[in-house]
Amino acid sequence: MFVYADNAATTKLKNSALDAMLPWLTDGYGNASGFYSIARDARRAVEDARKTVAEAMGARPEEIYFTSGGTEADNWALKCALPEGGTLITTEVEHHAVLHTAQYLGKNRRQVIYLPVDEKGHVIEDEMDRALEQPPALVSIMHANNEIGTILGVNELFAKVKTRWPKALTHTDAVQAVGHVPVSLEFVDMLSMSAHKFGGPKGVGALYIRRGVSLPPLLHGGGHERGKRSSTENVAGIVGMAAALREAVNKLDIAAGKTKRLRDKLIDGVLAIPYSFLNGDREVRLPGNASFIFEGVEGESLVLGLDAKGVCASSGSACSSGTLDPSHVLMAIGLPQEVAHGSLRLSLSEDNTEEEVAYMIEAVAEIVARRRSMSPLWDEREQKPTERFWSK
């Protein structure tokens, strides 16, 4: 059986997106900045897509700027909204697109405060209050975590920021949230999104910039996107993103409901394995995310074992980046280093089935049992209580 359970990494292109894109990959090849018919058609398609994205987000078209994806949108927001000498408040659990940008800025004449999170991955409010004693230039907090699935509640957090420091700017990396859960722009000045996380193509995304917020460009050049983001428009990508987002938002409740039911079955089934634990908040989490750790088993070996059984999954450890460091997210929620080395993330979509969920539960249980039976230390661990031996 082939099971795709890595939808947090990327999603299958929706048919609506492919259909919308095809004309712009074939005869509609004009440069949207040109002055002839096929160029004008391309320009119209880009502007229609902008309207569609804006409508889906509850924004105005002139507040949507297309980018090459979530990473560029995050870099743009952080690097260009944070002046020299300014303070950025962010969290310890951000995606590397934010975290590594923040670390870069921290070494280049900016202050950065990294807010700790509790064991479910929520920002610790007292720490936020303490950070807000001084005025920040920018607060960047992700909408939902890509690894453990926790939804961080940016609305309440940003409301607090705006009450205390009305001039501070707010940015949210909503890459995992857009198209999957409702997203409010009420207290948000900038928001990053990425098409390939909601059934659109790879290599295209957008930054929402609230009207009145003056953000200098990250990319200088020919003056595209009203002078804010130069580079010839990726017409097919932009059109595909708009089609995918419209579909995702229109059927968000139904898709999220179905995905959640599958996810809950998966979580219940997997947690029946002894010494297995769910990462993140059981309730306040992305509909498709199920992230686990299994004592005595490395996440990577599980991912490889699952691959051999046709299941596409991912591990929260940092082996993909070529380092042996444990996941910064798992460390931030208080997992000891030896446990933080190996998590298993199964991320579902509404396209998954009950049979697939049952197959994955069985496969995980079998691989975990096999790996543990090979470990000389496991017998000793089994003598101890099954509860977590750590806490934050």
What residues act catalytically? 319
Q: How far is the C-alpha of 36 from the C-alpha of 116, rounded, in Å?
A: 54
Q: Choose, by CB under 6 A, the member of 3, 24, 64, 69 that binds ligand PLP.
A: 69
Q: Is 205 in the site for ligand PLP (CB under 6 A)?
A: yes
User: What stretch of H or E contains 302?
Assistant: helix 299-308
Q: Choose, by CB under 6 A, the member of 3, 52, 63, 70 that binds ligand PLP.
A: 70
Span from 63-71, 223-231, 246-254, 363-371 in contact with ligand PLP (CB under 6 A): 63-71
138-167 binders of ligand PLP (CB under 6 A): 142, 146
Q: Choose, by CB under 6 A, the member of 7, 194, 276, 352 that binds ligand PLP.
A: 194
Which is nearer to ligand PLP, 141 or 368 (by Cβ)? 141
CB of 317 to ligand PLP, least distance (A): 15
Chain residue at closest Cβ approach to ligand PLP: 70
Q: How far is the C-alpha of 75 from the C-alpha of 98, rounded, in Å?
A: 7
Contact 223, 230 (CB under 8 A): yes
Size of the site for ligand PLP (CB under 6 A): 13
Q: Mind giving me the DSSP string for 88-149?
A: EEEETT--HHHHHHHHHHHTTT-EEEEE-B-TTS-B-HHHHHHHTTS--SEEE--SB-TTT-
Q: How far is the C-alpha of 344 from the C-alpha of 353, rounded, in Å?
A: 19
Tell me which residue has tokens 């697939």.
356
Binding mask 101-140 for ligand PLP (x = CB under 6 A): ----------------------------------------
Q: Choose, by CB under 6 A, the member of 7, 16, 52, 71 that binds ligand PLP.
A: 71
CB of 383 to ligand PLP, least distance (A): 39
- Residues, the chain: 392
Span from 13-21, 69-77, 150-158, 373-381 in contact with ligand PLP (CB under 6 A): 69-77
Contact 197, 178 (CB under 8 A): yes
164-193 binders of ligand PLP (CB under 6 A): 173, 175-176
Among the listed residues 143, 131, 134, the one whose alpha carbon sits nearest the alpha carbon of residue 186: 143
The alpha carbon torsion through 54, 57, 59, 62 (nearest 10 deg) reads: -30
- Tell me the Ramachandran region of residue 295: left when phi exceeds 0, alpha when psi lies from -120 to 50, beta otherwise: beta
Q: Is 245 in the site for ligand PLP (CB under 6 A)?
A: no
Which is nearer to ligand PLP, 8 or 169 (by Cβ)? 8
Which is nearer to ligand PLP, 71 or 301 (by Cβ)? 71
79-98 binders of ligand PLP (CB under 6 A): 95, 97
Span from 67-75, 117-125, 131-139, 244-252 in contact with ligand PLP (CB under 6 A): 67-75
Q: Which of the 8 DSSP states describes residue 347?
A: E
Contact 93, 145 (CB under 8 A): yes
Span from 65-73, 99-107, 116-124, 286-294 in contact with ligand PLP (CB under 6 A): 65-73
Please state the φ and ψ torsions of residue 86, each to the nearest 5 degrees.
Answer: -80, 165
Residues that bind ligand PLP (CB under 6 A): 69-71, 74, 95, 97, 142, 146, 173, 175-176, 194, 205
